[in-house]
Amino acid sequence: MNRYELHCHLDASVRPDTIAALAAEQRLALPASVRALADAPPDVGSLHAFLSYIDVALDVLQTPHALRRVAAELVADWHADGVVYGEARFAPQLHTRAGLTIDDAIDAVAAGLADGAAATGVRTGLLLCCLRHQEPSVSMTVADAAVRRRDVVAGLDLAGDERLPGLPHREAFDLAQSVGLPVTIHAGEAAGPASVWEALDVLGARRIGHGVRSTSDAALLDRLRRDLVALEFCPRSNVLTRAVPTLTAHPADRLLRAGLQVTVSTDTRTTADTTLTAEFDALAATFGWTGVEEQLCQDHAARAAFR
């Protein structure tokens, strides 16, 4: 079965061995084993704590060589996981500590994705992330880069602490939409339905990153169903961050059966220690999914892809 991955953070999907190798190349001493630093434990307990396990990868991803390498390796990992189309997302503004510009970071990741695609045949898309906790001016800079680099950028995202409103970043997303660049927004993960309404009505989201907390609002579910808005569910990550308490409580099964555009992704292949195969295996074990349900999710993802 051809698989599609729409929600995958590059910096949280770096192979542990690669983190170790890059740290050695850069003479960066690590305070603990890579696994201890990069893999969130089952009891990590919150999104804030979960995100801290990405820091070690960010530390080593400050050069064009490192970014190009990990992007190519992600495509190889997709290929091994049966993925025929994958979207990698990252915040280029977080890779400027050592002198890279935002455009330099975009170029390096785009080159790595192209390397991986040439080696495997996997088609790829690149999404840029604005961050809620940063100044709106930074989001405008990222959006401007996304618009200028539409040759390699497939879409714009807003990530970060959902307790912070997306409204201050509206200008960046208006810019993207003014040139037809599609938008996906992290919402309904750490915050409730109001964040999803904002993503749709204020920021123009065509897809929702996670969205698991939409279920308490019947009108919102009707809107998501009517407008064919894809939900980028990442079950293992959603449980680790306590967006849902257990996999049994995850809404993927009931929303799929209710006709919503459910898709399944890994979110963070390293931080969540998962693959797309593992995600669907877990859904099969929990909800009795067969190839029928997976194919439906893949059909939804294929339609929602930004490339």
Per-residue pLDDT of 278-287, as tens digits, reads 999 999 999 9
Q: Is 25 a catalytic residue?
A: no
Which is catalytic among the residues 5, 87, 162, 189? Answer: 189
Q: Residue 164 has what pLDDT?
A: 94
User: What does the chain come to in residues?
Assistant: 307
Q: How confident is the model at residue 20 (pLDDT cuts 50, 70, 90)?
A: very high
Q: Please tell me the distance from the alpha carbon of residue 274 to that of residue 258, in angstroms, as a whole number.
A: 27
**Mean of the per-residue pLDDT values of the chain:** 97
Statement: the pTM of the whole predicted model exceeds 0.75: yes
Q: Which two tokens stand for residue 1?
A: 């079965």
According to DSSP, the residues that pair with 231 across neighbouring strands are: 208, 262
Give me the long-range contacts of 259-262 (CB less than 8 A, separation at least 24).
259/225, 260/221, 260/224, 260/225, 260/231, 261/224, 261/225, 261/228, 261/229, 261/230, 261/231, 261/300, 261/303, 261/304, 262/230, 262/231, 262/233, 262/296, 262/297, 262/300
pLDDT one-digit tens code per residue, 290-300 = 999 999 999 99
Which CATH code of 3.20.20.140, 3.40.640.10, 3.40.50.150, 1.20.910.10 fits the domain covering 3-301? 3.20.20.140
pLDDT one-digit tens code per residue, 117-156 = 999 999 999 999 999 999 999 999 999 999 999 999 999 9
- In the predicted model, what is the mean pLDDT of residues 150-167? 96
Query: DSSP letter at 229?
Result: P
